Amino acid sequence: MTHRNIKLGLCGFGVVGQGVLDHLYRKRSALREQLGAEIEVVRVALRDRSKPRDIAVDDAIVTDDPISVAVDPEIDIVCELMGGTDRAREVTLEALKKGKIVVSANKALLCDHGKELLGVAQKFGGHLLFEASVAGGIPVIKAIREGLVVNDFSSIRGILNGTCNYILTQMTNEGASYSDILVQAKELGYAEADESLDVDGIDAAHKAVVLAYLAYGKWVPFDAVKLLGIKEVRQEDIRFAKDNGYAVKLIAEVDRERASNALRVSVMPTLMPKVSPLGSVDGVFNAISIHGDVVGETVYIGPGAGRDATASAVISDVVDAAKLLIFGGSEGRFPILNPNPKNGGEIETARPCEIRSRYYMRLVVMDQPGVMAEIASILASHEVSLASVSQKEVGENAERVTMIITTHVTSEEAVSLASSDLSELATLEEKPFMMPIGDLS
């Protein structure tokens, strides 16, 4: 028997919003049986009524004013699926001030305004749920805040952008350039017309900031994220990876140094061992590896974007919200507002001198006597120790060579300073390209 109607408002009716409405209709009977309640979409806010859409919506519930949805006293749950941050922030704040439950898939909004929004939710008795903001259909947020709640986290590493993973996979499989594969990705719908949010690492960085908060209760400023996209990855890097048992992946990393309790958030192309969980995930899939002190490593792999995957995560939060409304208690609420004491209290952002790794470096230099000695001298002056050096002529031009260097473990500060000094060499033809080398630990 249905005990009550739970009224839902959708703010945004693009690809994800249509997916949410479609699957709520399709699963209506199953959700009614599970919850003992009816989830009813009573308002849909969209910008352009004339735009053709795959999913039909009754004109009687359509509005072009998302604020009216946020403040409507009849609506229990507001789904913010608008994208962007300015209008989305305004809508979310208005709903939270009314004590409503807000479900959001907006990682940029959370990255920029998460601390403010959660504070408002706490003050006015609202709730903010955002499972769909990271890794699409992979329930990683529930895993961290529920399934792994007893764990201290030493690191979270992930492939969080399917577009980049597709491009790097195809560069590996086809031996083609970044620019050629990008064209292919756009033709297949895996990349937007303006691909910069994806390929510059911005999308993954937004998600990494959310993961850092989930694990450590600290909002890391976006400008504190060490960020490098995939535009500069070349076939030389791909070939080195293949020849040496690695894969080039765009890795979002959240690491805590136990000695200093400092936190590092980064998004960078990384050489990952091909036999590792992250090194073996190809195509548009996402993958996340979480290291906890109790459980050890857990790995989550699945579709990271797209209408159905994201809608699945949004509806998961809607169901949690419905349970909270029906049964009361803490189901569906996201409670962490302060750094978790089990992680050692306040966590500072790690300094470059505290971040240590092996590194890969690609240089294009003039093939002249003494060039290698100059490079070795600069690296040595910053205490960067060489592990291997190889070089190959660039095309048919014997005057230029591509030099690939790997280092022993060193600090991010040391290798960055060395790279800066190398950039000043008169014999250097291109800016140095550098990325960390991952391991199996």
Contact 289, 120 (CB under 8 A): no
The arithmetic mean of pLDDT across residues 199-225, rounded, is 94
pTM of the model: 0.90
Q: DSSP E strands: which ranges in 321-396? A: 356-366, 386-394
CATH architecture assigned to 5-137+307-336: 3-Layer(aba) Sandwich (3.40)
pLDDT value of position 441: 64
Distance in angstroms (rounded) separating the CA atoms of residues 431 and 365? 10
Q: Which of 207, 218, 226, 249 is catalytic?
A: 207
% of the chain beyond a pLDDT of 70:
94
Listed in sequence order, the DSSP H helices in 125-161 are 140-142
Q: H or E element: which one contains 324?
A: helix 307-327
Query: Is 330 a residue whose pLDDT tops 70?
Result: no
In this predicted structure, what is the pLDDT of residue 341?
A: 40
List, for residues 166-185, the tens digit of each pLDDT value: 999 999 999 999 999 999 99
One-letter-per-residue 3-state SS of 181-249: HHHHHHHCCCCCCCCHHHHCCHHHHHHHHHHHHHHHCCCCCHHHCEECCCCCCCHHHHHHHHHCCEEEE
Span 77-108, pLDDT tens digits = 999 999 899 999 999 999 999 999 999 999 99
Query: Which range, 143-152, 263-272, 395-404, has the best average confidence (pLDDT)?
Result: 263-272
218 as an active site residue: the answer is no
Between CA 132 and CA 118 the distance in angstroms is: 17
| Annotated domain spans of the chain | 5-137+307-336, 140-302, 352-437
At residue 396, the pLDDT reads: 67
Question: 427, 144, 186: which is closest to 291 by C-alpha?
Answer: 144
DSSP 60: G
Distance CA(108)–CA(34), nearest Å, equals 32
CATH class belonging to 352-437: alpha beta
CATH code that applies to domain 140-302: 3.30.360.10
pLDDT band with cut points at 50, 70 and 90 for residue 362: very high
Say yes or no to pLDDT of 54 above 90.
no
Q: Residue 342: its pLDDT value, please? A: 45
Residues pairing with 79 in the sheet: 10, 103
d(CA 168, CA 191): 13
pLDDT the model gives residue 346? 58
Whether the CB-CB separation of 231 and 168 falls below 8 Å is answered with no
